[in-house]
């Protein structure tokens, strides 16, 4: 099975950073990632800029990209109006997100889960009006920072609700990074069984050090795309306890997508170093230590000076 990677540095990766990344650098990063072969890039969010300031220039990033580039780029949305505004700017790939737990959905989006589900048909219609695709993104699929473990039945109801049908993909999110491989396999497998017509994406965090293991479990259960961020950047400002995403570099080395090679991997590691350095954030990519080891020069994936 061929597995793709979606880099989410420019959305989830930037939500908790202390410094902003200039719009021009965001645009260049999108092009660098696409040129390396990364299949998908999440380039921003339609969230309120006063709540998530790092996303305030999302539509400026969109305006700088070509239609061909935007065809591989996703924007986070939470309402039909978000879809309409993004579509008017040229977006055709939308990630419609809500939380499985009401408490997190209220903190993150300002309404309960039922209200988000009820609005999804209108969001789908707005995406279809521009020949676009809309993903069903279920945050807090495993645990909620306010409610604890999320019952499996809650996920079953969302996947079985006719109002969520028609999405191009289902995104299963370990928002807090508290999942482990067995439960990832269970819940991703449930989505694969309930939505065989849709693609399947796994969005993981490395809070408890299981990011790569969980990604592998998700692929075993049917995921065909996994999310990552350069340098392990990321976290949710509305989910206390959530740390960075599983790093794109770790996923590229472990999963070996079609575009991955020693040269592309080296470029990815250097990009992670550059972006985390520009943001004054630590580079948490676990493979970086091995890639830079002077004692491992015989290994082709080791970076050369």
The SS3 call for residue 289 is: helix
Q: Which residue has the tokens 């996994």?
A: 226
Question: What is the number of other CB atoms lying within 10 angstroms of the CB of residue 185?
Answer: 19
Which residue of the set 73, 97, 144, 236 is catalytic?
236
CA angle 231, 233, 236 (to 5 degrees): 165
Residue 73 phi/psi, 5° resolution?
A: -120, 140
The SS3 call for residue 296 is: helix
Q: How far apart are CA 117 and CA 109, in angstroms?
A: 12
Half-sphere exposure of 199 (CA within 13 A, CB side): 18
25 in Cβ contact with 278 (< 8 Å): yes
**Angle between helix 181-194 and 152-160 (nearest 10):** 20
Q: How far apart are CA 46 and CA 59, in angstroms?
A: 8
CA angle 42, 177, 291 (to 5 degrees): 70
272 in Cβ contact with 252 (< 8 Å): no
Q: How far apart are CA 273 and CA 288, in angstroms?
A: 9
Residue 61: C-alpha distances to residues 81, 109, 152, 225 (Å): 19, 23, 37, 23
Annotation marks residue 236 as catalytic: yes
Question: What is the number of other CB atoms lying within 10 angstroms of the CB of residue 209?
Answer: 9
The SS3 call for residue 121 is: helix
What does the block give as tokens for 20?
């902003």
Residues marked as catalytic:
236
């Amino acid at each position: 099975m061929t597995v793709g990677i979606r880099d989410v540095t420019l959305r989830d990766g930037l939500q908790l950073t202390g410094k902003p990344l200039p719009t021009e650098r965001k645009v260049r990063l999108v092009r660098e990632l696409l040129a390396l072969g990364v299949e998908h890039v999440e380039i921003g969010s339609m969230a309120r800029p006063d709540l998530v300031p790092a996303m305030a220039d999302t539509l400026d990033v969109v305006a700088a990209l070509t239609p061909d580039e935007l065809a591989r780029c996703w924007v986070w949305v939470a309402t039909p109006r978000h879809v309409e505004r993004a579509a008017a700017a040229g977006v055709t790939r939308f990630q419609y997100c809500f939380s499985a737990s009401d408490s997190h959905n209220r903190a993150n989006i300002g309404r309960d889960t039922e209200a988000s589900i009820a609005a999804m048909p209108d969001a789908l219609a707005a995406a279809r009006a521009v020949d676009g695709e809309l993903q069903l993104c279920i945050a807090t699929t495993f645990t909620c920072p306010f409610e604890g473990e999320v019952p499996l039945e809650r996920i079953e109801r969302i996947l079985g609700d006719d109002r969520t049908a028609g999405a191009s993909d289902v995104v299963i999110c370990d928002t807090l990074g508290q999942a482990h491989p067995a439960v990832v396999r269970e819940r991703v497998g449930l989505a694969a069984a309930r939505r065989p017509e849709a693609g399947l994406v796994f969005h993981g965090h490395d809070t408890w050090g299981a990011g790569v293991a969980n990604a592998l479990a998700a692929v075993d259960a049917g995921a065909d795309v996994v999310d990552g961020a350069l340098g392990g950047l990321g976290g949710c400002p509305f989910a206390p306890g959530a740390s960075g995403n599983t790093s794109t570099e770790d996923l590229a080395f472990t999963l070996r997508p079609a575009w991955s090679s020693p040269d592309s991997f080296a470029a990815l590691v250097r990009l992670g170093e550059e972006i985390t350095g520009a943001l004054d954030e630590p580079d948490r990519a676990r493979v970086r230590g091995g890639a830079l080891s002077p004692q491992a020069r015989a290994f082709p994936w080791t970076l050369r000076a």
